[in-house]
Structure 1
Amino acid sequence: MVTLPALAYPALFIAFALFFVLPLGFHGLWVPDETRYAQAAQEMLNTDNWVVPHFMGLRYFEKPIGGYWLIAIAQALFGDNLFGTRIASALTTGATVLLVFLLTRRLWSDPLKTWTACLLYMTFGLAAGQAGYSNIDPQLALWTTLSLASAWLGMEGRSARERWLGWALLGAACAIGFMTKGFLAWLLPVIVVVPYAVLHGRWRELLKGGPLAVLIAVLISLPWVLAVNQREPDFWNFFFWNEHIRRFTSNHAQHTAPFWFFIPILLAGSLPWTLLVIPALKRTWAERRERHSGFLALWFAMPFLFFSLSKGKLPTYILPCFAPLALLMANTLVDKLRQKDLRLLRGNGLLNLALGGLSLLGLIGLELTHPVFSGYPARLASAALVCMVWALCGAIQWKRASQHWYAPALAIWVLIAVLPASMPQTIVDNKMPDQFIAEHLDPLQGARSLLSNDLGAASALAWRLNRSDVTLLNVDGELRYGLGYADAQDRRVLSKDVGDWLSKQMKLGPVGIVLKAPDMHGDQLPSWLPDGAKVFRENNLLIVITR
């Protein structure tokens, strides 16, 4: 009989502290997302504007305000540092694990399945990776999980009090999710709850409690809705049409991808448990007439289908699907353990062994032919350690599936804790420019004016210096809307005008310039830079301080 060890939950808490929280400050901010959210939240604190989203001092209406609130509060508590920027993602992921715990315990009353569901969610590659990454997807996953867990309570609660509490929590979760990500937070519960109510005869409960959920959602979100509309009347026009309708329907939407895009993302995001995905979904289909299986099936499938139909796609969009997937896979995994059917677990271990071994061989081959870690032996050793641990954990699961079936958890935890700080310097400079900027903060802090030709580098510069007045050279992209306002016309300069702009700014004081210059080689510099400037260079990054 497979039982739950006494230290099972303490082990999860220790793992969360060691692998999720402790490494948050050990590597630079990834562009474009982390620098964006860090700078926008910092600006919120500096301006005390908790209503209208701004990024780089410009109106930024691609997201509502709520997603920045938690990041800003964390920076207020822990400082404008890497830890403060990321801790909100880690804590919201931890809160989602808590909801997985509560829901699994409610559905199955099985301690081992409950713990296993928590372990699986904490070790899904997509969920674990996002927990250490400053963005709002873990927040949306939390509010979506709370809304649908509450909806289950509202329709299947054991008492009238439980059911009313469920509907009230659903409304609150939808409101906070709406202020975090937008109308999506209302749509996802609807496309799950309505089909479930119809298919399983719970439509009377839906008609009774649904209006309460809607009322609470409106009452909580309405003050911000009216406040942002009063300050920026065009917010809802841009946000609704550009970020919802256009992104879902237009062939010119950002990040367009084919319908099947999320299938490989699901399998990769489920590592190191990928081989358990299909059997769990097959079993769920067979048991779809059971209420809890039917609800979890809809919770997984409907958002997955919705995002697949959307024209614009990013891998993290399906993160809300991983909470129900954790429950479904835990149900299948534990039953197979108890039946002593270990073929699936052994096959999963063999897959992880192969992935870890091949990754290690690939790393060795890359370093022999193109030594990207040259001069950084500690990073090379750390990357090799990740591969070896992954292979070893796979081997343990393969050979000791009945006793140590959970071994791959350590593999993903070591990966998320160690690998981001073990990147080759070329990747650090290209994807974490704030690290190079941090090395040269002193001369940059003396600059009166700032200029950058890359939005990621510009936002990293703004965050590191705690100032948003960086002039953008040939940059618009996601800032195109904000740059279109009359009060933002001086925030962008074109190549043909940069010489005149620089001459004017140099008369007022030193100018700090951060450039991404992939086409520059050796000592070659852009022709418009003045003579006598102080230049710092790292791969394709340039920092220039005029005198």
Structure 2
Amino acid sequence: MLNNTKQQSIYILYSIIVIIILRFILTGLIPLLDKTESRYAEIARLMYETQEWVVLQIDYGVPFWAKPPLSTWMSATSYSVFGVNEIAARLPYFLVCLLLVFILGKFVKKAGKSFYLPAFILLTTPEFLLHAGVVSTDAVLCFSITLIMISFWKSIENNKRNFWNYLFFIALGLGLLSKGPLVLVLTAPPLFIWLIIQKVSIKDIWNKIPWLTGILITIAIALPWYLMAENRSPGFLDYFIVGEHFKRFLVSGWKGDLYGSGHKQPFGMIWVFVFVFSFPWIQFIFIKLWKERRTILKNKWVSFLVLWLLWTPLFFTISKNILHTYTLPITIPLALLMVHYWHEFKNKKLLIMLGSVFPLLVLIATAYISFVNPKIIKDLNTDKYVIDKLMKTEPNTPRFYWGKKTYSSQFYANGHIKVINEASIDSIHNLNDTIIVLIKPKRIKYIPEVYRQKMVAIDSSAKTLIYKLKKQLP
């Protein structure tokens, strides 16, 4: 098996089909998890419910300044078509990743390479497969960066102006709406360095790219929202530009985060994420690049991809607050480098088999939780199942979360859940004959003893306890 090119091609094609089907199944099988994914899904739900399409909200009337709106617009639009549910929340990102796969396939096919090979490499890369159906801003950022880099390459390599020239600026605008100025930070430096290394003249850069018209296109796409957001929610620009783009990455354990806590990591942790979440392709490419180190800069295309690949982890090396999701943009140049060198790898069977490891593990895990032990899903970090049960058994009883509600509880309760604490429990208890209190086990000690004695446990999950509190004991 897999001993010749035909067998390998058939295996790659069927693997792509199976992985895509599997990934789509997971968009509906796995509930929205706290706190990142459920947070973005809930922000989109609030947008859809309130029809406030300019200022993002993390709760009713509470602005969310941490991200631009493009990904939220996508999920909110999906809700309007398919209803408010996990699949609708995740579908736009699933489609964006499939579109990326298609674009890369068409791109390499024109160079005489296999249309299916970049799809196989991307869909077997852990970071990309994880994002192909997760509510986040990273998939849209990756899409924007890909269009920026490829359109720039096509613009410089072609002597005549065409659609690629303008797509470069359209993608810049989309990037600014997906994750803000970070898109410039992750694309401008590698492009600038590449132009210097390849000694591309300023005249060529000026003549081949319609800078004046293009910049106007970018401004027309991105600037109106930024101005409207600041006008409707003063303070947004200062928090988003300064806080999210400087303090978040340079200040360890940044305390200015209004919506969570900084993800403090050791120096250089981004490289651990690179090697773990891009297995096995990053290992193969680094070995290959080391062998080809004397000729890398002589090849325009390879040097372009290498700079694209390395810049993101190099930039985040000094960052104190990072996530593994920051490595998603490098999966694209990684796949293109693998396609470029594919014919030079002698043991392609080994490449294919190692590449299949992660999707196979995902397939086994999916089958296990679906047919052998479905209870595992209910033990995940989500309040979906306790909320669903309460909506059926206690549909009219007011629901409260002690201290701080989870985003999944707010999403699955359609916003019908509020916060209760020591300062408000007296007034809330006096106004209602019966209330439902959800609480994390570690917070139970903060409930006043007089109320704790009256609370009756009615349900629980691995993460949450549910109590009923009446004015009088039954």
Q: TM-score range by the shorter chain?
A: 0.7 to 0.9
Q: 1:46: Cα distance to partner?
A: 0.5
Alignment of 1:289-328 (within 5 A): 289-328=298-337
Q: Quick check: 1:461 aligned with 2:409?
A: yes
Match of 1:26 in 2: 29
SS at structure 2 position matched to 1:407: helix
Q: Quick check: 1:121 aligned with 2:122?
A: yes
Q: Alpha carbons of 1:419 and 1:212: their partners in 2 closer, same or farther (altered >3 Å)?
A: farther
Further displaced range: 5-14 or 72-81: 5-14
Q: How many angstroms apart in 2 are the aligned matches of 1:447 and 1:296?
A: 58
Q: How many angstroms apart in 1 are the aligned matches of 2:374 and 2:428?
A: 34
The answer (yes or no) to whether the contact 1:56–1:468 under 8 Å persists in 2 is: no
Match of 1:42 in 2: 45
The answer (yes or no) to whether the contact 1:445–1:465 under 8 Å persists in 2 is: no
- Equivalent residue for 1:502, pick from 413, 428, 432: 428
SS at structure 2 position matched to 1:545: strand
Match of 1:207 in 2: 206
Match of 1:477 in 2: none
The answer (yes or no) to whether the contact 2:138–2:326 under 8 Å persists in 1 is: yes
Q: Residue type of the partner of 2:286?
A: I
Q: How many angstroms apart in 1 are the aligned matches of 2:386 and 2:355?
A: 33
Match of 1:406 in 2: 352
Q: Alpha carbons of 1:409 and 1:19: their partners in 2 closer, same or farther (altered >3 Å)?
A: farther
Q: Quick check: 1:332 aligned with 2:341?
A: yes
Q: 1:251: Cα distance to partner?
A: 2.6
Q: Alpha carbons of 1:182 and 1:18: their partners in 2 closer, same or farther (altered >3 Å)?
A: same
Structure ranking higher in helix proportion: 1
Q: 1:220: Cα distance to partner?
A: 0.9
The answer (yes or no) to whether the contact 1:144–1:173 under 8 Å persists in 2 is: yes
Q: 1:39: Cα distance to partner?
A: 0.8
Write the deviation string for residues 333-384 of structure 1: whole angstroms up to 9, x where unpaired.
Answer: 3322xxxx32xx6xxxxxxxxxxxxxxxxxxxxxxxxxxxxxxxxxxxxxxx
Q: How many angstroms apart in 2 are the aligned matches of 1:538 and 1:47?
A: 31
Structure 2, unpaired ranges of 5+ = 255-261
Q: Residue type of the partner of 1:99?
A: I
The answer (yes or no) to whether the contact 2:436–2:466 under 8 Å persists in 1 is: yes
Q: 1:184: Cα distance to partner?
A: 0.7
The answer (yes or no) to whether the contact 1:259–1:308 under 8 Å persists in 2 is: yes
Q: 1:284: Cα distance to partner?
A: 5.8
Q: How many angstroms apart in 2 are the aligned matches of 1:179 and 1:310?
A: 23
Q: Quick check: 1:256 aligned with 2:259?
A: no
The answer (yes or no) to whether the contact 2:268–2:317 under 8 Å persists in 1 is: yes
Write the deviation string for residues 3-40 of structure 1: whole angstroms up to 9, x where unpaired.
Answer: 68776786366235411212211122111112101111
Match of 2:258 in 1: none
Q: How many angstroms apart in 1 are the aligned matches of 2:427 and 2:297?
A: 65
Q: Quick check: 1:111 aligned with 2:113?
A: yes
Q: How many angstroms apart in 2 are the aligned matches of 1:64 and 1:91?
A: 20
Q: How many angstroms apart in 2 are the aligned matches of 1:242 and 1:469?
A: 30
Match of 1:229 in 2: 230
Q: 1:513: Cα distance to partner?
A: 2.1
Cα RMSD (Å) of the superposition?
A: 2.9
Match of 1:277 in 2: 285
Q: Quick check: 1:542 aligned with 2:465?
A: yes
Q: Quick check: 1:515 aligned with 2:439?
A: yes
Alignment of 1:408-427 (within 5 A): 408-417=354-363, 419=365, 422=369
Q: 1:298: Cα distance to partner?
A: 1.2
Further displaced range: 410-419 or 198-207: 410-419
SS at structure 1 position matched to 2:306: helix
Give aligned pairs, total.
Answer: 450
Structure 1, unpaired ranges of 5+ = 346-396, 474-492
Q: Alpha carbons of 1:307 and 1:273: their partners in 2 closer, same or farther (altered >3 Å)?
A: same
Q: Alpha carbons of 1:426 and 1:331: their partners in 2 closer, same or farther (altered >3 Å)?
A: same
Match of 1:84 in 2: 88
Q: How many angstroms apart in 1 are the aligned matches of 2:148 and 2:17?
A: 28
Further displaced range: 412-421 or 80-89: 412-421
SS at structure 2 position matched to 1:111: coil
Q: Alpha carbons of 1:298 and 1:213: their partners in 2 closer, same or farther (altered >3 Å)?
A: farther
Alignment of 1:91-102 (within 5 A): 91-102=95-106
SS at structure 1 position matched to 2:298: coil
Percent of counterpart pairs with the same letter?
21
The answer (yes or no) to whether the contact 2:78–2:91 under 8 Å persists in 1 is: yes
SS at structure 2 position matched to 1:25: helix
Q: Alpha carbons of 1:87 and 1:289: their partners in 2 closer, same or farther (altered >3 Å)?
A: same
- Equivalent residue for 2:70, pick from 66, 72, 77: 66
TM-score (norm 2): 0.86
Write the deviation string for residues 293-344 of structure 1: whole angstroms up to 9, x where unpaired.
Answer: 11111111122211223232111112101100111123233322xxxx32xx
Write the deviation string for residues 359-412 of structure 1: whole angstroms up to 9, x where unpaired.
Answer: xxxxxxxxxxxxxxxxxxxxxxxxxxxxxxxxxxxxxx5xxx4xxx52345443
The answer (yes or no) to whether the contact 1:62–1:239 under 8 Å persists in 2 is: yes
SS at structure 2 position matched to 1:161: coil
Q: How many angstroms apart in 2 are the aligned matches of 1:230 and 1:91?
A: 33
Match of 1:185 in 2: 183
Q: How many angstroms apart in 2 are the aligned matches of 1:238 and 1:435?
A: 35
SS at structure 1 position matched to 2:321: coil
Q: How many angstroms apart in 2 are the aligned matches of 1:417 and 1:74?
A: 27
Q: Alpha carbons of 1:417 and 1:53: their partners in 2 closer, same or farther (altered >3 Å)?
A: farther
SS at structure 1 position matched to 2:467: strand
Q: How many angstroms apart in 1 are the aligned matches of 2:389 and 2:280?
A: 36
SS at structure 2 position matched to 1:467: coil
Further displaced range: 124-133 or 305-314: 305-314
Further displaced range: 79-88 or 410-419: 410-419
Match of 1:167 in 2: 165
Q: How many angstroms apart in 2 are the aligned matches of 1:87 and 1:418?
A: 23
The answer (yes or no) to whether the contact 2:386–2:459 under 8 Å persists in 1 is: no
Q: Quick check: 1:429 aligned with 2:427?
A: no
The answer (yes or no) to whether the contact 1:89–1:130 under 8 Å persists in 2 is: yes
Write the deviation string for residues 260-291 of structure 1: whole angstroms up to 9, x where unpaired.
Answer: 21222111112244541322332564322211
Write the deviation string for residues 513-537 of structure 1: whole angstroms up to 9, x where unpaired.
Answer: 221114769xx98733462646212
Q: Alpha carbons of 1:284 and 1:216: their partners in 2 closer, same or farther (altered >3 Å)?
A: farther
The answer (yes or no) to whether the contact 2:123–2:129 under 8 Å persists in 1 is: yes
Match of 1:531 in 2: 454
The answer (yes or no) to whether the contact 1:20–1:417 under 8 Å persists in 2 is: no
TM-score (norm 1): 0.75
Match of 1:385 in 2: none
